[in-house]
Amino acid sequence: METAFGTASRRTGQTRRVPTEPPPTSWALQRAPDDHPHDMWAVGADLEPGTLLAAYRAGLFPMAVDGSLVWWSPPRRAVLPLSRFHASRSLRRSARRFEIRVDTAFGDVIRACADPSRPHGWIDAPFVEAYVRLHRLGWAHSVEAWDEEGLQGGVYGVAAGGLFAAESKFHRRTDASKAALLGLVELLRAVGAAESRVLDLQWQTPHLASLGAVEITRAAYHHRLDAALRLPDAFEPEEGGSASG
């Protein structure tokens, strides 16, 4: 997963709306026990909006493996505490080259992340369609880095209360996805309760660690998740403001 946000030049284009709760899933999605030793937890179900939301609220996320829909819950989960995000001086300088926008090109972002020419690509058409549906309901969001030549990078994920589950990122220009992550972090910080929000990155990598990501146990993740789900969604209209759709 690529990403990074910091002091971006401007943040524009966000259309805030209250998410629409979809019909509940017909599947019994249960949390992986704290002592389950594997990353993989379950196989099957579907990508309907109600199923996806129930999964994220249970600490699960989907990924296809050899044509099968697999639900994951790593024993060691990568999260990015908002207070620990490290934007180097060079990143902040680079980020100023981009205009940061929110939810102006969700479909373009996820299709760029799904580009089959990318190494280790796994996002296929059903996943794209599923997350576009979730976006239209107000649950999936993109943070984008633009310049005068167009969309150059971005990150997308799912927001539920104080959880933002980052799914994937892409870049066409150097540091564009990092600028998008920086913008995401700043957005989440700005709405308050930053210490209780969960920015989920799934699996740790050296790159994410350099930005401040840490690994926590599954039990600790579930504890933080339960608290975060009670918080206001960072992408919803501000109290007293108007929602647009």
162 φ, ψ to 5°? -90, 10
21 φ, ψ to 5°? -70, 125
Model pLDDT, residue 19? 95
Model pLDDT, residue 122? 84
CA atoms within 13 A on the CB side of 68: 10
DSSP codes joined into one string, 136-163:
HTT-EEEEEEEETTEEEEEEEEEEETTE
Instruction: Specify whether the CB–CB gap between 157 and 222 falls below 8 A.
Output: no
pTM: 0.90
State the 10-residue block means of pLDDT for the chain, 245 residues long. Answer: 35 69 96 97 98 98 94 98 90 92 98 87 93 98 97 98 97 95 96 96 95 97 98 79 39
Model pLDDT, residue 140? 98
What is the four-CA torsion angle of 203, 205, 210, 213, rounded to 10 degrees?
Answer: 10
Estimate the crossing angle of helix 106-113 against helix 125-136, to 10 degrees: 160
Model pLDDT, residue 14? 55
Model pLDDT, residue 138? 97
Model pLDDT, residue 5? 30
- Find out if CATH 3.40.630.70 is the number for domain 76-228: yes
Model pLDDT, residue 236? 82
The domain limits of the chain are 40-72, 76-228
d(CA 40, CA 32): 9
d(CA 232, CA 157): 16
H helices present in the chain, as ranges: 49-57, 89-95, 106-113, 125-136, 176-190, 206-210, 218-228
Model pLDDT, residue 16? 65
Model pLDDT, residue 132? 98
Model pLDDT, residue 239? 57
d(CA 186, CA 8): 9
